[in-house]
Structure 1
Amino acid sequence: MRRSFGVSLERYGYRVTAAADGLTGLESFRDGTFDVLILDVMLPGLDGIGLCRRVRESSQVPILMMSARGDGLDIVAGLEAGADDYVVKPVDTNVLVARIRSLLRRATYAPAPAAGQAAGDGPAPAPAEGELLAFGDLTIHTGGLDVSVNGSPVALTPTELKLLLEFAAHPGIVLERHTLLRNVWDYGWDGDSRVVDLCVQRLRGKLGRDRIETVRGFGYKLRR
């Protein structure tokens, strides 16, 4: 399957580096530069979830998890470890490419790596370039895509940053999960709302637990 996906992705114009186990994958990641990582949950040696955690210790590169199970255990664990999205095997190559393209779009306007930030375009555009948004002690500089809390910079993955920008474009407005799935994850259909819930949970862990409010039965909103 690894070889098959590699050949298919190369036909779409991607350069692919493959690894048969998690430890080899970690070594390849440390030795190279990658735009997207695709991690199978069931990698031998160091599994995909463990590898995801190791990568997140030093990088915000977009990560797509691939799971063989649809019961949700692997999915939730992968998203909690820091993955941006997931697909369940067996997966059609066209679906896989669509998810990769979505991840790349979110990272299109990423600033220099030293900034520790990244973001993508989306249906709800960020405010004017160079504008400084403030929500209490949370500040967002839309030109450099810098986020800070109490003056301390916060490193966000491209998906986390795009989600925050979506909230910041609609402060105090409740955004439903399916709206966030469409605008942030580029789902043209009803996707798994757990992706939204887990990403919001990660954002809260980085920005403060009370920053994003849950409106039961509807969705989430950014406190003004």
Structure 2
Amino acid sequence: MQGQPHQIIVVEDDTEIRSMLVSLLAAQSWTCSGVGNAGDLDRAMAAGMPLAVVLDINLPGEDGLSIARRLAALPSPPAILMLTARSEDIDRIIGLEIGADDYLGKPFNPRELIARLRALMRRMARSGGEEAGEVLHAAGLTIDEGARRVTRAGGEEVSLSGAEFALLIHLARAKGRILSRDYLLDAIHGREAAPFDRAIDVLVSRLRKKIDVPGRDSLIEAVRNAGYVLREPRR
């Protein structure tokens, strides 16, 4: 895996499925490569960090959940789209909790995979820090969209994943308005909400853990039957 870094890396141990996915994504003019396990992924990433990783959960050796946890802990992690069996709801929730940005159940519609990846890739491209962006001040935080940097009032930097940063941006831009779960799911993941879809709830929980101050009320308030709103910290 030498040369230019790829935009997308597919991690799938089934050779036929992996080849199909790489061909499908390459047809969208994305540069991509496919690997079958964690070791090959690490070697592929040595050429440069991809914008996104399509990651199957069931892999030989180190499984997808363990890989997702490692990737999410990187200073500037790629977007992670996990592939799961439709019956494995617990794996989807765990995947989101440890840092995956979205998930897709097998078998899946290729068009849906492309749509999910387009949403993730747009977000990662916007947060690459190459273009000047708006600087927002909300909930005691300074949010530099262009540099994809969040700091507290005292200057302490808060490290966020791509999905967490996107959620914070949407809540900050709302300026105290309540945003519905359906709106956030569409805005961040590029898809309509399905019944009992917990993707946004898990993402809010992840973001709270990073921006909230222990012992104080959460900066993100859940409004029953309405959605979420970013509040100024209470004195």
TM-score in terms of structure 2 length: 0.81
The match for 2:228 is 220
After superposition, the CA RMSD in angstroms is: 2.2
The match for 2:93 is 76
Cα distance change on mapping 1:12 and 1:165 into 2, 3 Å: same
What percent of counterpart residues are identical?
A: 34
The match for 1:182 is 186
Give per-residue Cα distances to partners, 1:115-173, cap 9 Å, x unaligned: xxxx9xxxxxxxx955441423x222344332112411122222211111110011322
> What are the ranges of 5 or more consecutive residues in structure 1 without an aligned counterpart?
114-118, 120-127
Q: Say if 2:129 and 2:148, in contact at 8 Å, map to a contact too.
A: no
Q: Say if 1:181 and 1:193, in contact at 8 Å, map to a contact too.
A: no
Distance 1:169 1:33 in 2: 29
1:1-224, aligned counterparts within 5 Å?
1-58=17-74, 59-112=76-129, 129-136=133-140, 138-149=141-152, 150-187=154-191, 189-191=192-194, 193-208=197-212, 210-224=218-232
Aligned length: 209
Distance 1:52 1:195 in 2: 16
| Higher mean displacement: 148-157 or 175-184 | 148-157
Distance 2:71 2:18 in 1: 20
Cα distance change on mapping 1:171 and 1:112 into 2, 3 Å: closer
Distance 1:146 1:24 in 2: 31
Distance 2:43 2:68 in 1: 13
Cα distance change on mapping 1:220 and 1:68 into 2, 3 Å: same
> What are the ranges of 5 or more consecutive residues in structure 2 without an aligned counterpart?
1-16
Q: Any idea what SS the aligned residue of 1:148 has?
A: strand
Give per-residue Cα distances to partners, 1:24-74, cap 9 Å, x unaligned: 223322443312101001011011110011112223211100001334111
